[in-house]
């Protein structure tokens, strides 16, 4: 049962990753692309990490996975904002 849930979560996570990459390719503008990017980071990695945590059945591993997810969340949120603001400044300057 846990295996089934874990597998479903992993597959769903990969789905969100793919959705994010396709969005990154197809969307017209840097600012819209960063929306696609954050879907991959939050949901994609989150579901992936949750599925792996269920699969591992080990508390220490699960905590490490949670830490990785939180780090990526906080880092990508700040990075996306900073990159977009940098690009906006470049546009405004030239």
For residues 53-92, one letter each, b for 16 or more C-beta atoms within 10 angstroms of the residue's C-beta and e for the rest, the string is bbbeeeeeebeebeeebeebeeebeeebeeeeeeeeeeee
- Range 54-73, binding other proteins (CB under 8 A): 55-56, 61, 64-65, 67-68, 71-72
Whose CA is closest to 48, among 75, 25, 66?
66
Q: C-beta of 43: minimal distance to other proteins in Å?
A: 11
- Interface residues with other proteins (CB under 8 A) are 3, 7, 10-11, 13-14, 17-18, 20-22, 24-25, 30, 33-34, 37, 40-41, 44-45, 48-49, 52, 55-56, 61, 64-65, 67-68, 71-72, 74-76, 78-87, 90
């Amino acid at each position: 049962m846990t295996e089934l849930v874990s597998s479903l979560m992993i597959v769903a996570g990969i789905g969100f990753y793919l959705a994010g990459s396709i969005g990154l390719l197809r969307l017209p503008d840097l600012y819209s692309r960063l929306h696609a990017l954050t879907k991959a980071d939050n949901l994609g990695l989150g579901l992936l990490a949750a599925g792996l945590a269920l699969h591992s059945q080990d508390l220490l591993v699960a905590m490490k996975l949670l830490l990785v997810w939180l780090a990526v969340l906080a880092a990508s949120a700040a990075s996306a904002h900073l990159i977009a603001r940098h690009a906006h400044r470049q546009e405004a300057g030239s």
